[in-house]
Amino acid sequence: MLRRCPVAVTALASFGLFAPYASAQDGAPQALSLDDLDALESQDSTSLLDLTAAQVVELIPLLLFFTLAFVSFFKKNTYLKYATLVYAVVYMGLMKANLVSLVHVFRILDGSFPILKYSMPWYLLMAVAIISTFLWGRFYCGRICAFGALTQLMDRVLPKRLRVEIPARYDRKAAALKYVILTGAVGYFLLTNDPYIYKYIEPFWMFTLSGSTVMWIMLAALLLLTVFVRNFYCRYLCSVGALLGLMSFASVFRIKRWSLCNSCKLCERACEWGAIKGPKISVTECVRCDDCEILYNDKERCAHWLLATRAERRIKPIPAVPPSTPIC
């Protein structure tokens, strides 16, 4: 054993002497020069510029869409509104499949936010959805969501004779179902950390054409129900709508009501979301679709303006008739 020690020591010493030479011959990394560092920095800057340019290209049509949505909202123009809905279905849905989903809620709960420089459109959509909700309520649902836009367009083109009006007492109970779904989905995610449950409670995947056979059958049934019950999914099943509805309790700007709204049912019959019940508008169900607000401004249909015009005519003084000039 002792005789082998000098051999071992000699071998270790030889390895120590020749290891640097062997590493250099094998291509071991060398220290970077200042020129190399400058080249890497220039390459990173170029990549960042290319990435930013690509993001800007993505942001331009999105900003145009949001501009159209807000202009149509403030102008209360029906043609602009439906142009916005078509834009939402085609661009936000079919082209980009860019919708607020439960997956985004799960990301926020998990703290796993996407990297900003790669996901600027995502952050812009989230900002518009959240800020607009605190300002006007469920603006996102009525103007931006591609699936909500699709159901509104269906309601516009389908014959009215196919509609089935849900009695108010059943409508209120059915509307509460989406809050149960939201609670169950969030609870399931917190317990299992599995976000893929969203595919079975949201139809938004349809814009990616990536569903299973069972999911497509469920979607067909859902759209068939929408033919008869206006905005069926949005009113009764949408968990994102439920979350935005809860946030709408803090909304700043709400729809005004005239005193005659207690007895007039014109807006209540026109509301395709079932958000108007007598004199009250439910902030959790209203999606700011403009139907009632357009009626408010219609002086030939709104009872408030009709009675105001009639009263104005009654109190308007009759102009004095000048005496006729006698003929001499």
Q: Which pLDDT tens digit goes with each residue over 108-125? A: 888 888 888 788 899 999
pLDDT band of residue 291 (cuts 50, 70, 90) is: confident
Average pLDDT over the chain, rounded to whole? 81
Are the C-beta atoms of 195 and 103 separated by less than 8 Å? yes
Whether residue 244 is predicted with pLDDT greater than 90 in this model: the reply is yes
Residue 87 has pLDDT above 70, yes or no: yes
Q: Lowest-confidence range among 130-139, 195-204, 296-305?
A: 296-305
Q: What is the rounded average pLDDT of the residues 73-99?
A: 94
Amino acid at 311: A
* pLDDT given for residue 239 in this prediction: 95
Task: Output the pLDDT for position 195.
Answer: 86
Where does the pLDDT of residue 7 fall: very low under 50, low under 70, confident under 90, or very high at 90 and above?
Answer: very low
| pLDDT, average across residues 206-211 | 84
pLDDT tens for each residue of 137-194: 999 999 999 999 999 999 999 998 998 888 888 998 999 999 999 999 999 999 998 8
Q: Which positions ≥6 away from 280 have C-beta within 8 Å?
A: 257
Q: For residue 35, what are its two tokens?
A: 């020129």
Question: What is the pLDDT at residue 8?
Answer: 41
- Which are the contacts of 103, defined by CB distance < 8 A and separation ≥ 6? 195, 198
Contacts of 261 (CB under 8 A, 6+ apart): 267, 278, 279, 304
Q: What pLDDT is attached to residue 49?
A: 60
Amino acid identity of 190?
L
| pLDDT tens-place string over residues 301-310 | 888 778 877 7
Which tops the pLDDT comparison, 297 or 328? 297
Question: Residue 155 half-sphere exposure, CB side, CA atoms within 13 Å?
Answer: 24
At 38, list the tokens.
């400058």
- Total residues found in the chain within this entry: 328
pLDDT-derived band at 322 (thresholds 50, 70, 90) equals low
The two three-digit tokens of residue 311, written as one number: 């009263």
d(CA 223, CA 55): 34
More confident residue, 246 or 277: 246
Average pLDDT over residues 237-250: 96
Q: What is the pTM of this model?
A: 0.77
Which two three-digit tokens encode residue 250?
């803090």
Structure-token pair, residue 77: 């123009």
Q: Is the pLDDT of residue 219 over 70?
A: yes
Higher-confidence position of 281 and 54: 281
Q: Average the pLDDT over 282-300 and give the result.
A: 88
Confidence (pLDDT) at 260: 77
